Amino acid sequence: MRGMLRVIAKTLLVLAFIAGATFSVFAQTSNNTSVTLHLSVYVPPVLQLSVDFASGGVTQITGYLGNTTSPAHTDGFELKPNTIFTLGAARIVSNLNSSYSIIVQSMNNGTLKNQASGSAIAYALLIGGEPAARYGDAFRIVSSIKTPRDGTELPVSIALGDIPSSASYGLYTDNLLFNIMAN
């Protein structure tokens, strides 16, 4: 008995739906009015930075000066005067209408430092081929570019000038922390 009642109820529901659809079709075809529909959509602000050579936005730069055959020098690059070294790429995603800053903090105030001797070699940071301005222990570059949805990739490099004649041979390092913020 229950099965029969369900079949009857479903049949009545289908018939009511067909009758309602037929009525609405006739209502639309016989009435020549237009309707304006206004949609408002909120798109949240997006500002993201990822760096392909850093874990969690933190990386260590390692270079060596002098003996290039030591196994300790396999993780870094050879420090040569007036040379640019590419670290990797930064991907920026932004839909902001205002400017934003990429800020890179340097543990050694923008120098590669030999921990054994204390010797330091200054460097410039390049993002997208542009030199970042130096402010104390940090580099900063300002932009207001809106990116495609999947972002824009920019090369990140360091540029060495002259290497001081007093710089001792050995490993030189600096730790960098990458961040992005709206201005």
List of domains in the chain = 47-182 (2.60.40.1570)
Q: Average of pLDDT values for 53-66?
A: 91
pLDDT for residue 157 is more than 50: yes
Quick: pLDDT tens for 129-146.
999 999 999 999 999 999
Question: What pLDDT shows up at residue 76?
Answer: 82
Report phi then psi at 46, rounded to 5.
-125, 130
Are 171 and 72 within 8 A, CB to CB?
A: yes
Chain centroid to CA 25? 51
Q: Average of pLDDT values for 21-45?
A: 71
Q: What is the model's pTM?
A: 0.74
pLDDT for residue 8 is more than 80: no
Q: Average of pLDDT values for 103-130?
A: 95
Helix and strand element counts for the chain (H, E) = 1, 12
Distance CA 94, CA 181 (A): 11
pLDDT for residue 23 is more than 70: no
